[in-house]
């Protein structure tokens, strides 16, 4: 597209690089170095070509390039606090730059983040488990603060899950009738997942309140019987999900 077409909005402009234009074709403004005062505020050569030119010049003049690097190192050694002073004087500018950059590269940043999380899934899981084990009170306080508002905002989903759970119970291999309080008293009001005391005064939907946990989940063929149920904090029960419990959890009578 002609760089002189003033009727086109800057966000839609595609320019041809004077060097790689015939092969790469039109490129967005973000691919060109900024140059205030020039058409659309960018140079005629794209960033990739400028980098190649710079590398070629450095390779052709290694002494000059090394002298330049030495000068930069000496200058920074003579002004050790320059970077910190500049950053302190341009806090708002740097913050705005970060906001603008994230807004302009939202999809690329999200893709990069998802890729990193996927390639480090094991590390992230181990870190989260270790952090939760080292800071139990912090996690519990956060859950007690966030869970009630979350339930209020997602009440239909909770109701649907409870209905599905009731339907699964009807298909359980063994279906005994008992009161929750019977199990709570049997387990002496101690959570059988984290083995911490359960506060009797806390009521649903408080994450620290008492709940019934199936050691072998109903979804995996477990029975709804005294032998297969234990007391658990609601948050511990939710964190466990549909995973099987540990052997020491199971009550054998």
Interval 208-218: pLDDT, tens: 899 989 888 88
pTM above 0.85, yes or no: no
| Structural element, H or E, at residue 213 | strand 210-214
Q: Same domain for 245 and 160?
A: yes
Q: In whole angstroms, how far apart are CA 19 and each of 15, 23, 27, 44, 226?
A: 12, 9, 12, 9, 78
- Residue 244 located in a structural domain: yes
Counting the structural domains of the chain, the total is 2
Containing domain of residue 238, as a range? 136-249
Which regions of 27-133 does DSSP assign to beta strands (E)?
27-28
- Reported for 176-184, long-range contacts at CB under 8 A and 24+ positions apart, including other chains, are 176/223, 176/224, 176/225, 176/226, 178/226, 180/210, 180/212, 182/226, 183/212, 183/226, 183/229, 183/230, 183/231, 184/210, 184/231
230 and 143 assigned to the same domain: yes
Residue 86 maps to a domain: no
Structural domain includes residue 122: no
In-domain check, residue 221 = yes
Question: Cβ(177)–Cβ(219) under 8 Å?
Answer: no
pLDDT in tens, 38-82: 888 899 999 999 999 999 999 999 999 999 999 999 999 999 999
């Amino acid at each position: 597209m002609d760089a002189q077409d003033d009727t086109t909005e800057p966000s839609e402009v595609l320019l041809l690089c004077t060097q790689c234009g015939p092969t790469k074709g039109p490129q967005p403004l973000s691919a060109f170095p900024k140059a205030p005062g020039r058409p659309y505020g960018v140079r005629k050569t794209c960033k990739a070509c400028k980098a190649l030119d710079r590398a070629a010049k450095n390779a052709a003049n290694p002494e000059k390039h090394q002298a330049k690097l030495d000068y930069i190192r000496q200058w920074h050694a003579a002004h050790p606090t320059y970077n910190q002073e500049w950053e302190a004087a341009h806090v708002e500018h740097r913050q705005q730059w970060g906001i603008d950059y994230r807004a302009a590269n939202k999809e690329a940043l999200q893709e990069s983040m998802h890729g990193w999380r996927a390639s480090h899934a094991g590390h992230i899981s181990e870190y989260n488990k270790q952090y939760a084990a080292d800071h139990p009170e912090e996690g519990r306080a956060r859950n007690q603060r966030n869970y009630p508002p979350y339930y209020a905002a997602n009440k239909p989903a909770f109701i649907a899950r409870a209905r599905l759970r009731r339907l699964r119970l009807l298909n359980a291999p063994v279906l005994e009738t008992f009161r929750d309080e019977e199990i709570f008293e049997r387990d002496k009001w101690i959570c059988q997942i984290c083995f911490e005391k359960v506060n009797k005064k806390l009521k649903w939907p408080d994450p620290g309140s008492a709940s019934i946990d199936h050691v072998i989940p109903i979804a995996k063929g477990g029975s709804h019987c005294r032998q297969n149920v234990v007391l658990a904090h609601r948050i511990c029960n939710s964190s466990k999900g549909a995973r099987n419990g540990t052997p020491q959890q199971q009550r054998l009578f």
